[in-house]
Amino acid sequence: MPALANHSRNDTLAYLPTADDRVFVERLRAGDRPAIAIVFDRHGAAIERVLERVLGCDTEVPDLLHDVFVQAMLGVSRYRGDSASLRPWLLQIAVRTARKCIRRRTTRRMLGLRTPGELPDAPDAVDPEQQTAVRRAHAALDRLPADERIAFCLRFVEGMQLGEIADACDTSLATVKRRLLRARVRFEQLAAKDSLLGRWIEEVAR
Amino acid sequence: MIDDDRLLALGRAIAAAHDGGHHGDPTGGRARVRARLLDRAGRETTRSHTLPWVVGLGLSVAAALTLWIAWPRALTFAIGPEASPGVAGAWLAASDAEAHSLRFSDGSVIDLHAGSRARVVQLHEDGAQVVLETGAAHLAIVPRGASRWRIDAGPYLVDVTGTRFDVAWDPQAEVFALTLHEGSVTVRGPGIDGERSVGMGEAMRVGPPIPAPLIAAAVTEAPEIAVVAEPAEPHREIRTPSKGRVPSRPRAPTPSAPDWRLLAEGASYREALAAAEAQGFDGLCDTLPAKDLLRLADVARFARRPERAAAALDAVRKRFPDSDGAAMAAFERGRMAFGRGAHGDAARWFAVYLRERPDGAIAREATGRLMESQHEAGRTGDARESAGRYLARWPDGPDGDLARRLGAATGPG
């Protein structure tokens, strides 16, 4: 059982393909904290992807991913959902975590402090020009207010539907639409000032 | 503006760059996170099992003692001559032969008349909420700085500061009566537009002209009676500004049916709406004051029942035309329409609000939303006009950037 090598109790549950997440909620509530590993196996990749979509390919993402699941593990007693999947709830935690991270960085930037983690090592697999353009895009996104940035990234980078974004941000559809509209306006203004980014937007749309 | 397709293409390119940034080891980072998570889980489990209970218990006791000494305590009450301790939530029924006294720790007294039933629902440090299910009661509330006493007599809500009064509710005859001896109270409920203040020496009665026995006892004992609300015919006493059919009445909450307002205050919106429906949603729409109807609409909206929210808001507009509440209902209808993507409808409702309250408290918000709805509905000319109006009045408003952008996007104006 390699996937559950560190998991000592009721491991068979992890292999029940039909067992929905409520089983693990009950186990976590009953004090079986290692059951979080099974939840992680089920949803970790999706949550990591969402964090990356919002924050970029960032060295801080693994820490934030860890934080999301620790919050879930410790806060499961407050979970009130009745869905068979914990993913919507985990997405909400991930969005809150990303928002905190963005705001913390904004504050640090305002204070003139460096924000480690924002500028990851260049991935070998990415074309240098594209990498520069992606950096410019993230630099533009960095200048959006946290909520607008999150809505923008979830919609256009992660490709989520508006209703899904509203659920993830724990807000109304109307609010999401307003945030998106404002984010688009701001992003376009920023892109208009950056010829490389503007050119790249034209290129990728072809 | 950059269109959706180009933004989605840009997003896909960014996502591809993210996915390419894992150096061919897409799960390596996650595996480390998983290991850390299991390590943390193990420590949490161990900690939870080996937590020094004595220390925890000691801290808890110290904290509890500190709180007990410093925290403002909720009132308590005792029942009858034996002064047996009263319990919030329990029904209290006076026998047919004798009255029942409730004495509160702040000195306030409620005498429940013979044959009456009541329940102390909540006890605060500065008051209590009492439901009079049936019958009559005499209340002597000790005035204090920030008293919060409320009496729910059937569908009528009496907000009390320091005062002495008689109140009665007969659910069969649907008669509410109140006689005030000292102080003042405000009453909300069916047939009362908004809320009604009752002053010293005044009496209020809502219901059929012939007093029901339960009410008669309370009212005839009152020394000063000036009828404030005396209907001409049975069932006509529930007066509303709307014309036509006789409105349906809400059923009085039963002992097992909690008040929807209480549940709403506790943010239990689905349960609050269920309670309102159990009480008779249409009846509430026909009888609640505007403020409560707006609250009911909020409850329905939060419970994700937009059709109920719309019904409550429409009731406000129908029953209280030209009021602030009606304008607010139009604004809320606009917000709901925007939320479901009906931008044309949303624009119409925001325009209604602005027509009715051009200088209203949320005129700026309504203008911003009108502009945005018109833009979303493809009415660029109208959006530009609205943007112009917005900028003329609130150049530094929160929608200023959007207004400037929309104005620029639709050409010179």
Average pLDDT over residues A154-172: 92
Instruction: Specify the pTM.
Output: 0.42
Q: Are residues A92 and A138 in the same domain?
A: no
- Which of A120, A145, A161 corresponds to the end of one domain? A120
Beta strands in B65-174 (DSSP E): 77-79, 84-85, 91-93, 100-104, 109-112, 117-124, 127-141, 149-153, 156-160, 163-170
Nearest to A53 among B9, B15, B41 (CB): B15
- pLDDT-above-70 percentage for chain B: 74
Preferred mutation among B19, B34, B36, B48 to probe A, highest tally of A CBs within 10 A: B34
- Report which listed range, A91-100, B1-10, B31-40, B294-303, is most confident: A91-100
- Judge contact between B363 and B390, C-beta under 8 A: no
Span B388-411, average pLDDT: 76
- CA nearest to B386, candidates B252, B397, B314: B397
- Same domain membership, residue A140 and residue A91: no
Q: Is A56 in Cβ contact with B24 (below 8 Å)?
A: no
Task: For strands B156-160 and B185-188, give the pairing.
Answer: antiparallel
Kind and range of the H or E run holding B404: helix B400-409
Q: Any chain B CB within 8 A of the CB of A56?
A: yes
b/e map B34-56, b = 16+ CB within 10 Å: bebbbebbeebbeeeeeeeeeee
Indicate if A162 and A91 belong to the same structural domain: no
Distance from CA of B40 to the nearest CA of A (A): 8
Are A102 and A136 members of one domain? no
A155 band by pLDDT with thresholds 50, 70 and 90: very high
Contact A205 B5 (CB under 8 A): yes
Q: Nearest CA of chain B to the CA of A112: how many Å?
A: 27
Nearest to B38 among A34, A158, A200 (CB): A34
DSSP B246: P
- Residue B43 scores a pLDDT above 60: yes
Q: Average pLDDT, stretch B43-70? A: 65
Q: Which residue of A has its CA nearest to B404?
A: A185
Question: Contact at 8 Å (CB) between B354 and B367?
Answer: yes
| Alpha carbon distance B87, B123 (integer Å) | 10
Encode pLDDT of A5-28 as tens digits: 333 333 333 434 445 777 778 888
pLDDT at A154 over 90: yes
- Residue scoring higher pLDDT (B411 or B266): B266
Q: Which is more confident, A68 or B233? A: A68
CB contact under 8 A, A201 and B10: yes
Q: Is any Cβ of chain B less than 8 angstroms from the Cβ of A45?
A: yes
Same-domain check for residues A116 and A177: no
Average pLDDT value for residue range A36-62: 87
Gap between the Cα atoms of A124 and B23, Å rounded: 7
Strand partners for B220: none
- Inspect the interface and report whether the beta carbons of B17 and A33 lie closer than 8 Å: no
Report the candidate in B349, B273, B261, B344 with the shortest Cα–Cα distance to residue B306.
B273
If you average pLDDT over each of A32-46, B134-148, B178-192, which comes out highest?
A32-46
Residue B158 to residue B153: CA distance in whole angstroms: 8
Residues A108 and A136 in one domain: no
Number of helical (H) and strand (E) elements in chain B, helices listed first:
14, 14
- The distance of B33 to chain A (nearest Cα, Å) reads 6
Report the domain count for chain A: 2
- Where among A120, A146, A167 does a domain terminate? A120
- Indicate if A99 and A193 belong to the same structural domain: no
| pLDDT value of position B338 | 83
Least confident of B11-15, B130-134, B141-145, B325-329: B141-145
Average the pLDDT over B29-50 and give the result: 72
| B contact test, residue of A57, A129, A153, A187 with most B CBs within 10 A | A57
A157–chain B Cβ distance below 8 A for any pair: yes
B351: pLDDT strictly greater than 90: yes
**Average pLDDT across chain A, whole number:** 79
At CA B186, angle to CA B180 and CA B188, rounded to 5? 120
pLDDT of residue B46: 56
Classify the complex by whether its ipTM is higher than 0.95, answering yes or no. Answer: no
- Mean pLDDT of all residues belonging to chain B: 75
Contacts of A178 in chain B (CB under 8 A): 372
Residues in B closer than 8 angstroms to A49, CB to CB, are 18
Task: State residue B48's pLDDT score.
Answer: 55
Sign of the C-alpha dihedral computed for residues A46, A49, A55 and A57 taken in this order: positive
Calculate mean pLDDT across residues A95-111: 85
Work out the pLDDT band at A153, boundaries 50, 70, 90: very high
Dist. CA B74–CA B165, nearest whole Å = 23
Same domain, A154 and A186: yes
Q: What is the pLDDT of residue B22?
A: 56
- Interface contact B404, partner A, CB < 8 A: no
Give the count of Cβ contacts less than 8 A between chain A and B. 147
Pairing of strands B127-141, B149-153: parallel
Per-residue pLDDT of A42-54, as tens digits, reads 889 899 999 999 9
> Containing H/E element for B44?
helix B28-50
Of residues B320, B273, B266, B271, the one with CA closest to residue B297: B273
Residues A71 and A148 in one domain: no
Does one domain contain both A126 and A116? Answer: no
- C-alpha B337: how far from its chain's center? 22
A32 in a domain, yes or no?
Answer: yes
Domain housing A142 = 122-206
Q: Which DSSP symbol is given to B223?
A: S
Q: To the nearest 5 percent, what fractions of chain A are helix, strand and coil?
A: 70, 0, 30
Q: Are the Cβ atoms of B13 and A130 closer than 8 angstroms?
A: yes
* Residue of chain A nearest B24, judged by CA positions: A125
- Chain B 40-69, CB below 8 Å of chain A: which residues? 40-42, 44-45, 48
What residues in B contact A43, CB-CB < 8 Å?
A: none
Q: CATH number for the domain including A136?
A: 1.10.10.10
Does A165 fall in a domain? yes
Q: What is the mean pLDDT of residues B168-197?
A: 78
Nearest to A126 by CA among B14, B196, B21, B99: B21
Of B10, B30, B338, nearest to A156 by CB-CB distance is: B10
Q: So what's the pLDDT on residue A21?
A: 78
Cβ count within 10 A of residue B318: 17
Angle at B255 between CA B249 and CA B256, to 5 degrees: 95
Q: What is the pLDDT of residue B350?
A: 92
Which residue carries 């209808």 as its tokens? Answer: B333
Question: What percent of chain B is predicted at pLDDT more than 90?
Answer: 9
Same domain, A164 and A82: no
Query: Over 50: is that where the pLDDT of B376 sits?
Result: yes
What pLDDT score does B221 carry?
40
Would you call B245 helix, strand, or coil by DSSP? coil
Q: Mean pLDDT throughout B396-411? A: 70
Q: Between B30, B41, B402, which is nearest A73 by CB?
A: B41
Q: What CATH number does the domain containing A30 carry?
A: 1.10.1740.10
